[in-house]
Structure 1
Amino acid sequence: MLKTFVYRLYPSKPQARRLDSTLETCRRWYNQCLAERRDAYQQRGETAGKFAQLAKVKEYKALNPHAKGIHSHVLQVVVSESGQGVSGVLPTREGRRNAGVSSLSGA
């Protein structure tokens, strides 16, 4: 039998701002990765690989002041998740297309 524990966070105002900033930065990075993969396929007919995008995490952190405070592993997970979001757009081996791109939007 599995037990489930539910925890509620009560962040202070500075912590809540930091969480919001982190989520917004991850959302923008996710959408940027999706757009890069989509554009690479639509314009050149090739797929932008996950490993190429993982290599750009360091560059993204250097260029984006909001990303400097986020651990690299978090941004790498975002890249991995974006690969699953774009899989619905690219044709499958049989040539069929799935649903659309699942981009994230701000609340």
Structure 2
Amino acid sequence: MAKNIKSDIKISIELDENRVPEKMAWTARDGGVANEEAKAMLLSLWDPNQKETVRIDLWTKDMPVDEMQQFFHQVLVGMTDSFKRATNDEKMADTMKDFTDYFAEHLNLKEK
């Protein structure tokens, strides 16, 4: 029987007195990441019992809007790639790509 391996990803959030994120860092020792700064995160987990997504969406109060736009664009592009790999649904992935292109064009992100 194969031995199961456990791997942890740790996310640390420093909050101000109003519980608004000021600093974030993450560690994934198996990936060679130790206490790396982050300004935003979107974490989605599938609850198989409730058949729904649970989410944690956080960003620091000093995250600039232009970087937030770029962050969301890159997340959408990544979700499109993951959707295509997970479902093999090329038609929908192409539709999603069209949207990410529209998103980038509308926010003038292609130049950045």
The two structures have a TM-score, normalised by structure 1, of: 0.29
- Which has more strand, going by share of residues? 2
What is the TM-score of this pair, normalised by structure 2? 0.28
Tell me: higher relative CO, structure 1 or 2? Use CA pairs within 8 A at least 6 residues apart.
1
Greater helix share, structure number: 1
